[in-house]
């Protein structure tokens, strides 16, 4: 057995002993008395009896030794702002925001929904919530009113934290009107809105509801707000993710388990050390942003770069596809985290940009969120000359499930494989129909995790234990196992290969979207009778959404002008309701959709023909001609 195999084996055979050791990596106000309670499967409760606080571990505990060291480095190539906050300054800012939230009535257990661009105030708000025991729900700033409204309704936040606007590629994206519209659409109304005014777009304030953060800070700015000690299983946050139904799921996480999981991953997986700089190019709206822009690096005592902007624009707002490498050099970044999509974007530019800067500080580049294809991995690996580490995980897990734990043992990577199961994870491959375990090399099945799930893993779905158990744990016959809803195989050496989703979730540029949500939005158009949305392979984005629509006025749509107009209206509708990310790349009009005899839409068969693959058994299709017609529409 190699060193890592031993490490993993102990985490499985003696989870309590293993995680009791890892728990030493964080500060506890009261140490736990029981490491794991798995008496009510599939629920796993970690570090019972322990009290701690995420903000204390991310900020306060570093003050003694690194108050003057950088903690948050904000770089916006959209506004040209570059600013560093030390741990000492971060401590002050977070207390200021915490005091403002408290002044708006927020206390322990209350929800605070954060709908923010990538600005420091977003991180202050997250940490402030953690500090006072409020539950934050960050909603990705690229989502539009409809998506935001359904999340407001589910989270029932006392306060929404937002800003006047974001900016993307130099284009101002006003947030406030989208938020106002979302609150109008939502049956639940938050009591207050706390706003940062960046001076990018005009804002109309609703009297009695909307407050500018600088006004509240003027009153509460110097208040000392101590950390509220939370029991380990208290909820730290919820984050919404897409599933098979149109209703988003609030993935709920604890406090102590999450803090330990992140601290352990910073040591064993990312090998990031206190005093160094971590650069994740993700967004705080995604789980990577929670774990590896805000909490993970700070818990480890590292500075973290919060980057607003495209990967191809410089701080002077001129085109510069070398900006990230410039930042690596400038801030001596040791660990970097991005997504394959971003690398595929950079690949279109001169590879000399990778050699232009001194990247000697960089130890590894981690890529996640979607399958990492070999050409992309090779290009960036050759260019940077550091290990490229694929890591596979999900919003639900909070930290990598499958990768290479460099901090324990630098096992070799294999192209196309994220690696091996991480400590704490019992990953198996099961036959999708029988639930039988597949142990042979290269046998394809569903990737599942056997309980108890490790610290940091989701506790449940917010307000819906039954849905959590039913959706995730009962999808395979005869067994209570967590389904990742990903297909996978394992090779003879135990390396896993992820082969795409088993459900109707698609992955656009590393972002997870539910095709049902998009379908629901399109169905709302007055001239749409029926719609199917599938994810189709795309060289740059991994997948893009493609919509097949049966229009109500079928005949009229044979006119190409009418079709073009309807396509435009449908695209706009989705962008307005859900966000530009969800907008289908193409809308095609058809007279019927392929279904089974029982009326179930055959999205997978549609996807197959769109990608020029064999759609499989056609005998179950009610009317196979509909599928052939779709095939003719997409073949160039």
Q: Which residue has the tokens 């409760």?
A: 45
Q: Using the rule CB under 6 A, is 528 a contact of ligand AMP?
A: no
| Segment near ligand AMP (CB under 6 A); pick from 183-191, 219-227, 300-308, 391-399 | 391-399
Nearer to ligand AMP, 331 or 497 (CB): 497
| Region of 424 on the Ramachandran plot (φ > 0 left; ψ -120 to 50 alpha; else beta) | left
Q: Using the rule CB under 6 A, is 238 a contact of ligand AMP?
A: no
Q: Using the rule CB under 6 A, is 607 a contact of ligand AMP?
A: no
Q: Which of 306, 303, 495, 309 is nearest to 416 (CA)?
A: 495
Whole-number Cα distances in Å, 224 to 55, 111, 122, 167: 14, 22, 20, 33
Q: Using the rule CB under 6 A, is 338 a contact of ligand AMP?
A: no
Total residue count of the chain as it appears in this document: 636
Nearer to ligand AMP, 251 or 321 (CB): 251
Q: Which of 238, 286, 249, 251 is nearest to 118 (CA)?
A: 286
| Segment near ligand AMP (CB under 6 A); pick from 181-189, 351-359, 393-401, 474-482 | 393-401
Kindly state the smallest distance separating residue 487's Cβ from ligand AMP, in Å.
9
Q: Using the rule CB under 6 A, is 418 a contact of ligand AMP?
A: yes
Kindly state the smallest distance separating residue 393's Cβ from ligand AMP, in Å.
6
Interacting positions 481-520 with ligand AMP (CB under 6 A): 484, 486, 498, 501, 507, 512
Under a CB-based contact definition with an 8 Å cutoff, are residues 545 and 584 in contact?
Answer: yes
Q: Using the rule CB under 6 A, is 448 a contact of ligand AMP?
A: no
Written in H, E and C, the secondary structure of 449-492 is: EECCCCCCCCCEECCCHHHHHHHHHCCCCCCCCEEEEEEEEECC
Interacting positions 12-71 with ligand AMP (CB under 6 A): none
Q: Can you list the alpha helix ranges (DSSP code H) found in 135-242? A: 145-155, 176-185, 213-220
Q: Which two tokens stand for residue 287?
A: 């789980």
Interacting positions 275-294 with ligand AMP (CB under 6 A): 287
Nearer to ligand AMP, 186 or 391 (CB): 391
Kindly state the smallest distance separating residue 331's Cβ from ligand AMP, in Å.
26
Query: Contacting ligand AMP (CB under 6 A), which of 255, 280, 282, 394?
Result: 394
Q: List Cβ neighbours of 591 (8 Å cut-off, separation of 6 or more).
A: 550, 554, 626, 629
The residues pairing with 507 across neighbouring beta strands, listed in sequence order, are 512
| Cα(251)–Cα(500) distance, integer angstroms | 21
| Segment near ligand AMP (CB under 6 A); pick from 14-22, 80-88, 159-167, 387-395 | 387-395
Q: Which two tokens stand for residue 134?
A: 């409020």
Kindly state the smallest distance separating residue 226's Cβ from ligand AMP, in Å.
34
Q: Using the rule CB under 6 A, is 626 a contact of ligand AMP?
A: no
Give the DSSP letter string of 318-340.
SB-TTHHHHHHHHHTEEEEEE-H
Query: Contacting ligand AMP (CB under 6 A), which of 147, 241, 341, 626?
Result: 241
| Segment near ligand AMP (CB under 6 A); pick from 56-64, 374-382, 384-392, 595-603 | 384-392
Q: Which two tokens stand for residue 332?
A: 């001596």
Read off the DSSP letter of residue 293.
I
Query: Contacting ligand AMP (CB under 6 A), which of 157, 371, 452, 455?
Result: 371
Nearer to ligand AMP, 322 or 579 (CB): 579
Q: Which two tokens stand for residue 575?
A: 């962008």
Q: Please give the residue ranges that form the binding site for ligand AMP (CB under 6 A).
A: 241, 287, 368-372, 390-395, 418, 484, 486, 498, 501, 507, 512
């Amino acid at each position: 057995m190699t060193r890592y195999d031993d490490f993993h084996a102990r985490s499985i055979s003696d989870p309590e002993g293993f995680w009791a050791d890892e728990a030493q990596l964080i500060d506890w106000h009261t140490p736990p008395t029981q490491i794991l309670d798995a008496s009510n499967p599939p629920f796993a409760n970690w570090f019972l009896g322990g009290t701690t606080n995420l903000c204390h571990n991310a900020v306060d505990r570093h003050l003694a030794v690194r108050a003057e060291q950088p903690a948050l480095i904000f770089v916006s190539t959209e506004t040209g702002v570059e600013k560093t906050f030390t741990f000492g300054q971060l401590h002050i800012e977070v207390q200021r925001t915490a005091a403002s939230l408290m002044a708006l009535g927020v206390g322990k257990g209350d929800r605070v929904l954060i709908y923010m661009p990538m600005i420091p105030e977003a991180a202050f708000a997250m940490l402030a919530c953690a500090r006072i025991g409020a539950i934050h729900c960050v909603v990705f700033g690229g989502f539009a009113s409809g998506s935001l409204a359904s999340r407001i309704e589910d989270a029932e936040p006392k306060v929404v934290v937002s800003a006047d606007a974001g900016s993307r590629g130099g284009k101002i994206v006003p947030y406030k009107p989208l938020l106002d519209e979302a609150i109008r659409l939502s049956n639940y109304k938050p009591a207050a809105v706390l706003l940062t005014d960046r001076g990018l777009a005009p804002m109309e304030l609703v009297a009695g509801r909307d407050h500018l953060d600088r006004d509240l800070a003027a009153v509460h700015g110097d208040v000392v707000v101590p950390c509220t000690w939370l029991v380990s299983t208290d909820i730290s946050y919820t984050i919404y993710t897409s599933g098979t139904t149109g209703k988003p799921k609030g993935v709920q996480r604890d406090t102590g388990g999450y803090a330990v999981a992140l601290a352990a991953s910073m040591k064993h997986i990312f090998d990031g050390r206190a005093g160094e700089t971590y650069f994740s190019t993700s967004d705080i709206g995604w789980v990577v942003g929670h774990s590896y822009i805000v909490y993970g690096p700070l818990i480890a005592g590292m500075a973290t770069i919060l980057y607003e902007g495209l990967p191809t624009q410089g701080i002077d707002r001129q085109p510069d596809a070398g900006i990230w490498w410039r930042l690596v050099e400038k801030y001596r970044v040791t660990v970097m985290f991005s997504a394959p999509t971003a690398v595929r974007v950079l690949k279109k530019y001169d590879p000399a940009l990778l050699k232009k800067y001194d990247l000697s500080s960089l130890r590894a580049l981690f890529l996640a969120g979607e399958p990492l294809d070999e050409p992309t991995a090779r290009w960036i690996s050759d260019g940077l000359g550091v290990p490229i580490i694929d890591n596979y995980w999900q919003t639900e897990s909070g930290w990598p499930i499958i990768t290479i734990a460099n901090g324990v043992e630098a096992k070799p990577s294999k192209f196309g494989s994220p690696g091996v199961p991480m400590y704490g994870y019992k990953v198996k491959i099961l036959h999708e129909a029988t639930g039988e375990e597949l142990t042979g090399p290269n046998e394809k099945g569903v990737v599942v995790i056997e309980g108890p799930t490790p610290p940091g893993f989701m506790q449940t779905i917010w307000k819906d234990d039954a849905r959590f158990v039913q959706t995730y744990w009962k999808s395979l016959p005869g067994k209570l196992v967590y389904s990742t809803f990903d297909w996978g195989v394992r090779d003879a050496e135990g390396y896993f290969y992820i082969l795409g989703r088993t459900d109707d979730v698609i992955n656009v540029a590393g972002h997870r979207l539910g095709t049902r949500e998009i379908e629901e939005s399109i169905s709302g158009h007055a001239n749409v009778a029926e719609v199917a949305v599938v994810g189709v392979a795309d060289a740059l984005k991994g997948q893009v959404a493609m919509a097949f629509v049966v229009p109500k006025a079928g005949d009229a749509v044979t006119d190409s002008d009418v079709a073009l107009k309807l396509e435009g209206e449908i695209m706009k509708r989705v962008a307005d309701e859900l966000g530009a990310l969800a907008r289908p790349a193409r809308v095609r009009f058809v007279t019927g959709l392929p279904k089974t005899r029982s009326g179930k839409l055959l999205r997978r068969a549609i996807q197959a023909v769109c990608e020029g693959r064999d759609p499989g058994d056609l005998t179950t299709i009610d009317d196979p001609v509909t599928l052939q017609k779709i095939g003719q529409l997409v073949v160039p």
